[in-house]
Amino acid sequence: MAIFSRPISLLLAATALAGLCAGAPAQPTGTLPPSAPAWSGESGGSGHPQMTSEAIRAAAANFRGCLESLWPMAARRHITRATFDASIAGLTPDLRIMDLLDSQPEFTKSFWDYLDTLVSDARIAKGREMLEKHRVTFEAVERAYGVDRHIIAAIWGVETSYGAIGGDRPVLRSTGTLACVGRRQDYFREEFLATLEILQRGDVRPDHLVGSWAGAFGATQFMPTAFKRYAVDFDGDRRRDIVDSVPDLLASTANKLKTNGWVSGLSWGYEVVVPVTFNFMLADRGRDHTIAEWERLGIHRAGNKPFPRAQDQAYLLIPAGVQGPGFLMLQNFRAIMKYNPSEAYALAIGHLADRLRGGEPFVQDWPRYERVLSRAERLELQQLLVRRGYDLGEPDGQLGGKTRAAIRDFQSKLGYVADGFASASILEQLRGR
């Protein structure tokens, strides 16, 4: 079952490297570590005309001219010519990014494997340590923004293992490369210009402005345009520094959540028990009901706990179908998804936050016996559904709401429990019809 909406290599790498210390010497602004692999020289897998090897080489040959062409846009953002010239001087494209931009990783992790990876005992222990170490700052940020400190700590932990790993590519070079080479130049042009604005303001030291291949930086991974919108100076030094200032880092993360709809005092959601006889057509992100209404429909909280607020609005998520736990997701879950639109990511953040404050693991078991579909199988499943008249958009191997709705309808026609779970047996049924 595909559950990811963006690459998670940094998240999973953070698990493997959780023991590394933060604050390792950063690479200079325009260079890569010596071990960085080179571009394969091959065309990208997307088939986009700007991702052919010939187009990539041609764009790389014109890299300097492309950067120079951005000067008028930079000037309109009040970037000085001196800053612009100093920033692009000697800058060369990092063509290895082209392989990463068009890669199609074979993610075969289930919801439960993903949670096992990100909500580990080590990450819980380290998170509690960081909460205590920076207790005064967490309390001040929580008072200022009304965002639960445990959620902020969970994002810090999941994104970079509390700063242990956040990428080592110069943001200026990454965004400059993507602004001039490859299939997403319009998008990354804005990121490159925003990077120049960060340098112009002096918010982050140039040699510390390093991050992922796509340009996300800081311990909670802000893209440059997100930095412009959400970053705040919380330590009062007149710089918004999410790399070297813990107060700025935590407050900026809280500000992003608050701006994106976080409701103070509200949970992210609840684990719930869903009866086999439930109408699973109601399990849809677009179908909000009050907690009281869900209870009348037969949903109750796991562990026989009461719901604290009967009038809260929530939608029902059943990631493993009737075989696994269900979850009622509140507004704050949607706010977390503004950080990363993957439901698995947001669930990991919410659950890790609960564990950091002393909560228990989920009560119900996951169907670990189920074989996870490969990306090719997920794509095939979608294609078979399209042939049967279901409107899924362009099949892409990512099983979103439309695919789950189509699976539910197909299951109901077979007389199965229509829970929308993309199992190997459903794929076999589709193949045989």
**Number of Cβ atoms within 10 Å of the Cβ of 323:** 17
pLDDT of 375: 86
Dist. CA 397–CA 376, nearest whole Å: 7
pLDDT of 208: 95
Q: What is the pLDDT of residues 101-131, one digit of tens each?
A: 987 666 668 899 999 999 999 999 999 999 9
Q: For residue 144, what are its two tokens?
A: 């200022």
Dist. CA 61–CA 40, nearest whole Å: 17
Which among 132, 225, 131 has a CA at the least distance from the CA of 186?
225
Phi and psi for 269 in degrees, rounded to 5? 165, -175
pLDDT of 104: 62
Straight-line distance from the first to the last Cα atom of the chain, in angstroms, rounded to the nearest whole number: 21
Contact 108, 374 (CB under 8 A): yes
pLDDT of 3: 36
Dist. CA 167–CA 160, nearest whole Å: 9
Res. 217: pLDDT tops 80: yes
**Number of Cβ atoms within 10 Å of the Cβ of 306:** 8
Model-level pTM?
Answer: 0.89
Dist. CA 431–CA 229, nearest whole Å: 48
For the chain, the three-class secondary structure string (H helix, E strand, C coil) is CCCCCCCCHHHHHHHHCCCCCCCCCCCCCCCCCCCCCCCCCCCCCCCCHHHCHHHHHHHHHCHHHHHHHCHHHHHHCCCCHHHHHHHHCCCCCCCHHHHHHCCCCCCCCCHHHHHHHHCCHHHHHHHHHHHHHCHHHHHHHHHHHCCCHHHHHHHHHHHHCCCCCCCCEEHHHHHHHHHHCCCCHHHHHHHHHHHHHHHHHCCCCHHHCEECCCCCECCCCECHHHHHHHCCCCCCCCCCCCCCCHHHHHHHHHHHHHHCCCCCCCCCEEEEECCCCCCHHHCCCCCCEEHHHHHHCCCEEHHHCCCCCCCCEEEEECCCHHHCCEEEECHHHHHHHCCCCCHHHHHHHHHHHHHHCCCCCCCCCCCCCCCCCCHHHHHHHHHHHHHCCCCCCCCCCCCCHHHHHHHHHHHHHHCCCCCCCCCHHHHHHHHCC
Encoded amino acid at 187, one letter = Y
pLDDT of 250: 98
Q: For residue 412, what are its two tokens?
A: 């109901």
Res. 16: pLDDT tops 60: no
Dist. CA 381–CA 399, nearest whole Å: 10
Res. 22: pLDDT tops 70: no
- Sign of the C-alpha dihedral, residues 143, 144, 148, 153? negative
Per-residue burial over 336-348, b if 16 or more Cβ lie within 10 Å, else e, is bbebbebbbbbbb
Encoded amino acid at 10, one letter = L
Contact 122, 157 (CB under 8 A): no
Q: What is the pLDDT of residues 156-200, one digit of tens each?
A: 999 999 999 888 999 999 999 999 999 999 999 999 999 999 999
Which among 213, 202, 219, 203 has a CA at the least distance from the CA of 172?
213
Beta bridge partners of 327: 271, 317
Domain residue spans in the chain? 10-268+330-369, 375-431
Specify burial of residue 433 (Cβ count, 10 A radius: 0-12, 13-18, 19+).
Answer: exposed
Q: What is the mean pLDDT of residues 361-390?
A: 93
Q: What is the pLDDT of residues 33-90, one digit of tens each?
A: 445 679 999 999 888 999 999 999 999 999 999 999 999 999 999 999 999 999 999 9
Which among 103, 88, 85 has a CA at the least distance from the CA of 37?
103
Res. 12: pLDDT tops 50: no
- The rounded mean pLDDT for the chain is 90
pLDDT of 103: 79
Dist. CA 290–CA 124, nearest whole Å: 31
Q: What is the pLDDT of residues 292-331, one digit of tens each?
A: 999 999 999 999 999 999 999 999 999 999 999 999 999 9
- Sign of the C-alpha dihedral, residues 232, 236, 241, 245? negative
Res. 144: pLDDT tops 90: yes
Contact 407, 421 (CB under 8 A): yes
Q: How far is CA 354 from the centre of its chain?
A: 19
